């Protein structure tokens, strides 16, 4: 852990992200933002086209200033990799050679193992237009590739960094299904509260002559209570609720006879049984 941000612990550890000859400052900034999202902080640039520092990069980083401020620039890829022990090269296309090819999940787990052993690691990303050359890849230990649509395999550099950064964070989680926050804890309603709600809405509907004809009222109340006491709706239940909403809405717009809709018709129990919402 390093420093705090808005009184929360700031994670800043893990493999270095190395961008080879990046072009746009905006792309570098979005890479920094993706890194910060998932706890990476060490960004290395190899011969950035527009130089460094870059105000466009800082703006695009969306306050990931600790990444931007710590960015190191190198003249060659060999210099950028010199102090690292293990490096992955990212690529979307098949390469000739003898490098092991790993999935992002396997690569992240391998990087985590090296990290825990005290080794310095890195992930290599290529140029926006052409990616990594074979000579670049030759300097890495293994290749990592993403399971993308083969007909549309090109990834924006920030997207590629985001994917690997996400897998890196997951590799350090004891439970990958865990979430950073939970739903608000709310006390379940009592039966007294639920019955009070039933009586409240039934009284409001009764005042609007929803329970028509009268001999259907008991069955309609049973149906209504069954719907309102369940967590999931079926199609017939939706029709019941549509009848309720239609009754209240027509009463409000008509502002006259509570038993009449805007066309002067009555919404009856027979119509509800037939699945009609009064239209």
CATH code assigned at 28: 3.40.1280.10
156 and 83 share one domain:
yes
Beta-bridge partners for 88: 123, 142
SS3 (DSSP) at 147: coil
119 and 150 share one domain:
yes
Mean pLDDT value across residues 98-122: 94
Last residue of a domain, one of 139, 171, 203: 171
147 and 29 share one domain:
yes
Total structural domains in the chain? 2
71 and 207 share one domain:
no
Residue 178 CA to its chain's centroid (Å): 14
109 and 152 share one domain:
yes
* Residue 178 covered by a domain: no
pLDDT band at 118 (very low <50, low <70, confident <90, very high): very high
* Residue 279 covered by a domain: no
More confident residue, 196 or 70: 70
224 and 149 share one domain:
no
On whether the CB atoms of residues 32 and 42 are closer than 8 A, the answer is no
Mean pLDDT value across residues 171-191: 77
On whether the CB atoms of residues 27 and 160 are closer than 8 A, the answer is no
Q: Which domain holds residue 245?
A: 191-273
Tokens of 6: 């808005």
pLDDT band at 62 (very low <50, low <70, confident <90, very high): very high
41 and 131 share one domain:
yes
167 and 267 share one domain:
no
pLDDT band at 207 (very low <50, low <70, confident <90, very high): confident
164 and 209 share one domain:
no
Q: Does position 266 have pLDDT exceeding 60, yes or no?
A: no
Average pLDDT, the chain: 82
85 and 159 share one domain:
yes
């Amino acid at each position: 852990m390093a420093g705090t941000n808005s009184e929360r612990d700031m994670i800043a550890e893990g493999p270095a992200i190395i961008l080879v000859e990046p072009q746009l400052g905006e792309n570098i900034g979005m890479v920094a933002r993706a890194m910060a999202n998932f706890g990476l902080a060490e960004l290395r640039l190899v011969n950035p086209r527009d130089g460094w520092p870059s105000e466009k990069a800082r703006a695009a980083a969306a306050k990931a200033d600790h990444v931007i401020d710590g960015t190191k620039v190198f003249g060659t890829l060999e210099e950028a990799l010199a102090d690292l022990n293990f490096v992955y090269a990212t690529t979307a296309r098949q390469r000739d050679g003898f490098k092991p090819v790993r999935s992002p999940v396997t690569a992240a787990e391998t990087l985590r193992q090296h990290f825990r052993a005290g080794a310095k690691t890195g992930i290599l990303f290529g140029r926006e237009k052409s990616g990594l050359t074979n000579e670049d890849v030759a300097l890495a230990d293994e290749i990592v590739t993403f399971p993308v649509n083969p007909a549309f395999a090109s990834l924006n550099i920030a997207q590629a960094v985001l994917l690997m950064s996400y897998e890196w964070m997951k590799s350090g989680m004891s439970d990958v299904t865990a979430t950073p926050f939970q739903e608000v804890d709310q006390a379940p309603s009592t039966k007294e509260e639920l019955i009070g709600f039933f009586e409240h809405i039934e009284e409001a509907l009764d005042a609007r002559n929803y329970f028509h004809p009268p001999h259907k009222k008991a069955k309609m109340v049973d149906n209504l209570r069954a719907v309102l006491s369940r967590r999931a709706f079926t199609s017939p239940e939706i029709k019941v609720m549509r009848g309720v909403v239609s009754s209240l809405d027509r009463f409000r717009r008509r502002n006259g006879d509570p038993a009449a809709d805007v066309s002067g018709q009555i919404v009856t129990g027979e119509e509800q049984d037939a699945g009609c919402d009064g239209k």
